[in-house]
Amino acid sequence: MDPSPSPSLPARPAPGWPAGVSIVPTDPAHAPALREALGSVARERRWLAAVEPFSEAETHAFLAINRAAGVPQFVAVAGPLVVGWCDIVRLYPYPGYEHNGRLGMGVVAGWRGRGLGRALIDRALGAAAGAGFERVELEVYGSNTAAVALYRACGFEVEGVKRAMRRLDGRVDDVVCMARRSVPPEPGDDPGFPGTL
């Protein structure tokens, strides 16, 4: 875990939804602009595991697979630009895992702190049940104070921490595993791992 304060955390501008921005379901036509948006966040080398953009072919394939699977995927658009995204993908191809989705999201620097992240995740979580997801999980770096606060506010709980999992640019970061369950445990459910070995 990085104990130092995070000087590069975005300053929080006065709240206010940016004019002309809307949240819409992701369409194949968004692929080039989404690639730009994700690439710009990846190149910050702080928030995402990827530090380079995916190729346009990879982006098209990702969108097509998600579209065929009917999983939630939304973008924030400002004219021709994609300025944020949120998707919940089906990660595990095994029987018994169908109710699990993995959330990924980002808002382009310069558009943060104005409500887009919250709006994107609300839309995606609102569509999760329709895709069969009762449990939505994610991974976030421990130093990513803004994202952790957002996820907690949306009902995600910490399930575990992978200590010092990333070492990049002199920064050592934990990977925090969080999940949100929309169906509460029932009496008789397995009580779960006791937490200590």
Ligand X SMILES: CC(C)(COP(=O)(O)OP(=O)(O)OC[C@H]1O[C@@H](n2cnc3c(N)ncnc32)[C@H](O)[C@@H]1OP(=O)(O)O)[C@@H](O)C(=O)NCCC(=O)NCCS
Q: Name residue 178's beta-bridge partners.
A: 138, 158
Contact between residue 168 and residue 48 where contact means Cβ atoms under 8 Å apart: no
**Cα separation values, 38 from 47, 50, 75, 95, Å:** 11, 9, 11, 31
Number of residues forming the site for ligand X (CB under 6 A): 25
Which of 34, 71, 116, 124 is close enough to bind ligand X by CB under 6 A? 116
Least Å from the CB of residue 144 to ligand X: 5
101 contributes a contact to ligand X by CB under 6 A: no
**Cα separation values, 83 from 39, 114, 135, 169, Å:** 11, 12, 27, 26
**How many of the other CB atoms lie within 10 Å of CB of 98?**
14
Ranked by CB distance to ligand X, the top (closest) residue is 117
| Residues in region 28-47 near ligand X by CB under 6 A | 41, 47
Beta strands in the chain (DSSP E): 21-25, 73-78, 81-89, 100-107, 135-141, 157-168, 171-181
Nearer to ligand X, 78 or 98 (CB): 78
Which of 9, 23, 172, 175 is close enough to bind ligand X by CB under 6 A? 9
Return the DSSP state at 8. T
Applying CB under 6 A, the span of 94-102, 107-115, 157-165, 166-174 interacting with ligand X comes to: 107-115
Least Å from the CB of residue 43 to ligand X: 12
112 contributes a contact to ligand X by CB under 6 A: yes
51 contributes a contact to ligand X by CB under 6 A: no
Q: Of 138, 137, 141, 139, which Cα lies nearest the Cα of 168? A: 141
Least Å from the CB of residue 165 to ligand X: 13
Q: Residues interacting with ligand X, by CB under 6 A?
A: 9-10, 12, 41, 47-48, 105-107, 112-118, 138, 140, 144-147, 149-150, 153
